[in-house]
Amino acid sequence: MLKFIRALIQPYRRTLCVIFLAMLVEAGMSLAAPWPLKIILDDVVKKHGQPTGISRFMYDHFAHGDPMHFAAVIAILFVVIAILGSVASYIDNYYTESVGQWVAYDLRLKVYTHLQRLSLGYYSTHETGSILSTLTTDIQTIQGFASSQTLNILVDMLTIVCMLGLMFWLNWDFTLIALAVTPFLLLFVSRFKKSVKAATHEVRKQQSEIVSVVQEGLQSMQVVEAFGQEKTEERMLADVSQSAVNAALKARSVKSLLSPVVSITVAACTALVLWRGSALILAGSMSIGSLTVYLAYLSRFFKPVKDLATTTNAIAQVSVGTERVRAILDADGSIPDDPNGIEPESLRGEIEMRHVAFGYDAETKVLSDVSVTIKPGDFVGVVGMTGSGKSTLMSLLPRFYDVSSGELLVDGEDVRKYKLAWLRNQIGYVMQETILFRGTILDNILFGHPGATRDDAIEAAKLANADEFITRMPLGYDTVVGERGSTLSGGQRQRIGIARVMIRRNPILLLDEPTAALDTESEKLVIDGLEKLMRDKTVIAIAHRLSTIRNANLILVLANGVIAESGTHEELLSRNGIYAGLYHVQFNAASETATEISSPIDQTRNIECPVP
Ligand SMILES: Nc1ncnc2c1ncn2[C@@H]1O[C@H](COP(=O)(O)OP(=O)(O)OP(=O)(O)O)[C@@H](O)[C@H]1O
């Protein structure tokens, strides 16, 4: 963990040096603080012998042998010590906060960048809520620790060593008695460390569960309300909250024991020192001033020990936070990106699959042996039962996942030979539902090609049949859409989605049933937009409604992980196989529906592939 934190604070080592120096001054001033009192008590008030050492020097040179002058000098010294300590403390706090903030900034970006590189498979097995919680709470915990605690521990150690030296110098056998209890205290602190860490782990786990439940609930509010499941959601939150409270209370019973145990030990030591000290003063072998310094040091000596006890808690929290952050950073699911990957000027759009196999896990293959060649400019339809692997097949092209075996070639080169970002930039993707981001409609269209202009975006929107509804809005292209585009209809979102892809001018286009969720009226407008988008591109379109791919140059029928049939619509019908079966089921169902409701619409529309 320390190695990880050291790497994080490495870029700020200069500032850390300043903080460390400030901390040293602070520690020095805290060591010096009780001495003016001792000098006043022993050398001014009680005139306990003649001042010696540095005290003698000040007495002779600054006070000209006058006790009241000397008292004034010591009073000024007291203020100077306080000012130096305060200035050092200001510098320490000021820079500590800035280092902490920048460390958190770096870490947040590092984790987020890594998350973006991970293959989509990572997100199927990890909860978004837990990731969110790590990006916020865990990083915040590390932020506090990285900047202040690491140095604090160092300075605490240094202060302890210096104090011990001074205490032994004042009265060594007395010091031994007072500190006899320290090893037991340290043992106690370290024994508790393990249980505090385990308890903290559980608390963080439960806290991120809360984020997961709330996040999922808020995102699915419409479904929750539609099914009247508000109570179920509330109960789920109550359950995880209860577990979080239980875990926190369990951690509390461990944590709250530390501080009182240390305080009682300190009180016992102080009592011993008071009792023994009084005896030594009465016997004339110790001055009142020395006892005062002794008492002040004793409380200060145990403060770092006490700090170390509370730091145990902070260390437990930060090590749990670090483990969670590292679990993300060490996740090895990223799609490899060849640093010497090629980035040709343009792409013709030829796609070839050679014995491609793929499975989300090692046991189950979704695709077992797929081979096909798609010529540039071809329109290819992919059909098959639900779960047959159509979307999976498509997701291999932009390398959301890499093939398990076989080869996937684009323009004759293995997709892994291209630079990943470049490859993805060549591919336009229109999905069943377009996800929009919070921002203006213009921002959402430009998301497809951030370098494009407002005019480019308007032109794309016109081609996608989106311009007419956008310009009817009071703020037009500057209208702000809600989270995930919730303020627009499904058809409007799809048309913005098409404009977003249109603006990219990609040679390859992937359509994952973009009209599936639309009514007939919206569908017409979307299809019209899509037809313009598809011109001169290699298009692979998944279709449940077979009418949408009737004109495809090639239709692939996926079944049992292989291409069971392929050909044009007419060829496949005449073969009388799976495709013909699917077509007849849709056609007959549509005829029945059409007879029942006398619908004028395309008879094969709105009837989907049967679910097995
Ligand atoms: N992220 C994932 N992790 C694990 N398994 C997955 C994942 N996505 C899909 N699958 C599984 O892979 C198989 C193929 O899914 P895929 O979505 O490719 O089918 P599809 O033909 O597109 O289905 P549909 O027509 O219903 O959209 C299914 O059995 C599905 O459960």
- The yes-or-no verdict on residue 188 having pLDDT over 80 is no
**409 has which bridge partners?**
352, 414
Q: Measure 390 CA to ligand 1 centroid, in angstroms.
A: 8
CA distance readout (Å), 405 to 435, 536, 566:
32, 31, 22
> What pLDDT does 367 receive?
92
Contact 486, 516 (CB under 8 A): no
Contact 111, 134 (CB under 8 A): yes
Contact 539, 549 (CB under 8 A): no
The conformation of residue 475, written as its DSSP 8-state character, comes to: T
Most confident of 245-254, 285-294, 355-364: 355-364
- The yes-or-no verdict on residue 183 having pLDDT over 60 is yes
> What pLDDT does 603 receive?
38
Kindly give the interhelix angle for 67-117 and 2-9, rounded to the nearest 10 degrees: 100
> What pLDDT does 601 receive?
36
> What pLDDT does 612 receive?
36
Q: Which residue has the higher pLDDT, 225 or 443?
A: 443
CA distance readout (Å), 161 to 31, 268, 308, 456:
11, 22, 14, 70
Both tokens of 591, joined, read 């005829």
Q: Specify the amino acid at residue 524.
A: K
> What pLDDT does 352 receive?
93
% residues pLDDT > 70 (the chain): 85
Nearest-angstrom CA–CA distance, 374 and 577? 22
Contact 166, 297 (CB under 8 A): yes
> What pLDDT does 608 receive?
43
pLDDT tens digit sequence for 456-490 = 889 888 887 888 888 888 888 898 887 666 678 88
> What pLDDT does 80 receive?
93
State whether residue 112 is helix, strand or coil: helix
pLDDT tens digit sequence for 83-93 = 999 999 899 88
Q: Which helix (H) or strand (E) holds 150?
A: helix 150-179
Which ligand 1 atom minimizes the distance to the CA of 392?
A: 18
State the DSSP string of 168-215. HHHHHHHHHHHHTTHHHHHHHHHHHHHHHHHHHHHHHHHHHHHHHHHH
Among the ranges given (54-63, 75-84, 553-562), the one the predictor scored with the smallest mean pLDDT? 54-63
Q: Which residue has the higher pLDDT, 120 or 606?
A: 120
**Ligand 1: which of 120, 360, 562 to mutate, judged by most atoms within 8 Å of the beta carbon?**
360
Most confident of 288-302, 332-346, 371-385, 588-602: 371-385
**563 has which bridge partners?**
558
Nearest C-alpha neighbor of 195 from the set 247, 143, 150, 157? 247
- Can you count the helices (H) and strands (E) in the chain? 22, 12
Q: If you compute the radius of gyration of the chain from its CA atoms, what whole number of angstroms results?
A: 37
Q: Measure 360 CA to ligand 1 centroid, in angstroms.
A: 9
pLDDT tens digit sequence for 421-447 = 889 888 888 887 888 887 888 988 988
Q: What is the mean pLDDT of residues 91-112?
A: 88
pLDDT tens digit sequence for 2-45 = 677 778 888 888 988 898 899 889 888 988 888 888 887 777 66
Residues 6+ apart with CB under 8 A from 164: 175, 179, 301
- CATH numbers and ranges of domains, the chain: 2-329 (1.20.1560.10), 351-426+506-597 (3.40.50.300)
Residues 6+ apart with CB under 8 A from 316: 193, 196, 197, 199, 200
Q: Which residues surround ligand 1 with Cβ inside 6 Å?
A: 124, 360, 366, 384, 386-392
Report the mean per-residue pLDDT for the chain. Answer: 80
Q: Look at ligand 1, atom 17, and give the residue with the nearest C-alpha.
A: 391
Nearest-angstrom CA–CA distance, 23 and 21? 5
Contact 62, 73 (CB under 8 A): yes
- The yes-or-no verdict on residue 600 having pLDDT over 60 is no
Residue located via tokens 């501080």: 259
Nearest-angstrom CA–CA distance, 399 and 121? 12
Q: How would residue 262 be classed by pLDDT, with cut points 50, 70 and 90? A: confident
Nearest-angstrom CA–CA distance, 203 and 243? 9
- The yes-or-no verdict on residue 610 having pLDDT over 60 is no
CA distance readout (Å), 183 to 158, 169, 191, 255, 315:
18, 21, 12, 20, 20
Q: Long-range pairs for 277-286 at CB < 8 Å and ≥24 separation?
A: 277/174, 280/171, 280/174, 286/171, 286/174
Pairing of strands 351-358, 367-374: antiparallel
Nearest-angstrom CA–CA distance, 117 and 334? 5
**Ligand 1: which of 123, 364, 385, 388 to mutate, judged by most atoms within 8 Å of the beta carbon?**
388
State whether residue 332 is helix, strand or coil: coil
Question: What sections of 409-486 are H helices per DSSP?
Answer: 420-425, 441-446, 454-463, 467-472
Instruction: Name the phi and psi angles at 236, rounded to 5.
Output: -60, -40
Nearest C-alpha neighbor of 420 from the set 339, 362, 531? 339
Among the ranges given (68-72, 75-79, 92-96), the one the predictor scored with the smallest mean pLDDT? 68-72
Model-level ipTM above the cut of 0.90: yes
> What pLDDT does 223 receive?
73
> What pLDDT does 351 receive?
92
Strands (E), 23-166: none
% residues pLDDT > 90 (the chain): 10
CA distance readout (Å), 452 to 445, 497, 601:
10, 16, 38
> What pLDDT does 306 receive?
64
State the DSSP string of 67-104. HHHHHHHHHHHHHHHHHHHHHHHHHHHHHHHHHHHHHH
Q: Look at ligand 1, atom 4, and give the residue with the nearest C-alpha.
A: 360
pLDDT tens digit sequence for 153-178 = 777 777 878 888 888 887 777 778 76
Q: Measure 220 CA to ligand 1 centroid, in angstroms.
A: 21
Question: Largest alpha-carbon pair distance within the chain?
Answer: 121
Q: Measure 444 CA to ligand 1 centroid, in angstroms.
A: 28
**Ligand 1: which of 358, 390, 432 to mutate, judged by most atoms within 8 Å of the beta carbon?**
390
pLDDT tens digit sequence for 517-576 = 666 666 676 677 777 777 778 889 898 777 778 888 899 999 888 998 888 888 888 888
